[in-house]
Amino acid sequence: MAEEFVEGNFLGLAKPDGKPDIVVLSVPYELTTSYGQGTSEGPAACVEASGQVELFDPLLGEDLPAGLRISTPPAWDGEGNNLAQQLDGISNFLAPWYDGKTFPVILGGEHGILPALVHAAGNHPLVDGDFSKLTIVQIDAHADLREELEGEVFSHACAAARAMDFGLKHLFQVGVRAFSQHEYNRIQSDDKITTYFASEIQKSTDSTWGNWLDEISQIEGPIHLTIDIDGLDGSLVPATGTPVPGGLTFWQTVETIQALFSSAKGVVISMDVNEIVPQKDTPLTQFTAAILATKGIIHHINARRAGNWTKQTVAGREISQPKPSTSYFQNR
Ligand SMILES: [Mn+2]
């Protein structure tokens, strides 16, 4: 039976009764000192574009929500008088959903949300405050490993570097094709960072792409997947702040999602799709973002069906109450 389409909800799905299994969380964050490229409007545009995404996928064999409860809570309110307060606000907004039962899909916003997101992920029972258990997989045109950009250490160009500050287990990057010498040197020298450059994965003559899929299939423990949509080829996401040619194809991105979610020893605890900027002439950019978020939801549901979600999360400590608000970034 066809459900009623609800405006403002991801995929137009009606608000479910009871506690959601999957939440789509909008974080319309844009650093005020940046160029104002429109990422703060991205999440709403993505939710709107999701209305055009097919609810059926052969992997599940039925329409979404496929028996689960998928909810779109109100967006982060953007409150905070300065950058540190805003990052704390984002972290506190996300943290209650990292209860080990809910799968958060976060829509951004600048990639600068990543450190706030990682801080919140510390709440997840599989991480439990020990960030050395957490692996991040990053799809991105940029390494985001700068120490600062124009004096700002929380610039989107520093997102991965600030995430690494938490002492992550490992960072895997793919699609990277724009980086400074400092970032290149860090990639070469830091044994906690593995980067598959775009120039390598696109070669039809060798198996680098297969190596990437194999390597991420072996990740153990909790994983966060962060998709900067500029990691895809610029032709797919022309409105993002810094579109770059030579990126991942759509299907390479889907293959990456598939490999991660079907990993035997790893469990994807959350994902984000960021740097969404509304495109005016056609909705291609926001639609691409919406379909990738949907693919994540589909593969998460598939992982649940395979027992790969509950098996791992139930084994961990469960958090029954959200942790009290923290001021990590203000005290940093
Ligand atoms: Mn990025």
Amino acid 132: pLDDT: 98
Residue 267 resides in a domain: yes
**3-class DSSP state of 330:** coil
Q: How far is ligand 1, taken at its centre, from the CA of residue 321, in Å?
A: 32
Q: What is the 3-state secondary structure (H, E, C) of 285-314?
A: HHHHHHHHHHHHHHHHHHHHHCCCCHHHHH
Per-residue pLDDT tens digits for 22-52: 999 999 999 865 566 789 999 999 999 999 9
Domain extent, residue 199, equals 18-315
Q: How far is ligand 1, taken at its centre, from the CA of residue 156, in Å?
A: 6
Amino acid 322: pLDDT: 57
Residue 89 resides in a domain: yes
Amino acid 203: pLDDT: 83
Residue 251 resides in a domain: yes
Amino acid 318: pLDDT: 53
Q: How far is ligand 1, taken at its centre, from the CA of residue 311, in Å?
A: 32
Would you state the structure tokens that stand for residue 66, as one six-digit string? 């496929």
Residue 243 resides in a domain: yes
Residue segments in the chain with a per-residue pLDDT below the cut of 70: 1-2, 32-36, 311-324
Q: How far is ligand 1, taken at its centre, from the CA of residue 5, in Å?
A: 33
Q: Supply the CATH number for residue 308's domain.
A: 3.40.800.10
Amino acid 323: pLDDT: 66
Per-residue pLDDT tens digits for 191-248: 999 999 999 998 877 899 999 999 999 999 999 999 999 999 999 999 998 899 999 9
Amino acid 37: pLDDT: 78
Exposed (0-12), middle (13-18) or buried (19+): which is 4, by Cβ within 10 Å?
A: exposed
Residue 325 resides in a domain: no
Q: How far is ligand 1, taken at its centre, from the CA of residue 331, in Å?
A: 25
Look up residue 5 and give its DSSP letter. Answer: P
Q: How far is ligand 1, taken at its centre, from the CA of residue 275, in Å?
A: 7
Residue 330 resides in a domain: no
Residue 12 resides in a domain: no
Q: How far is ligand 1, taken at its centre, from the CA of residue 319, in Å?
A: 30
Q: How far apart are CA 231 and CA 209, in angstroms?
A: 15
Residue 55 resides in a domain: yes
How many folded domains does the chain comprise? 1
Cα→Cα distances 214→208, 209, 248, Å: 10, 9, 17
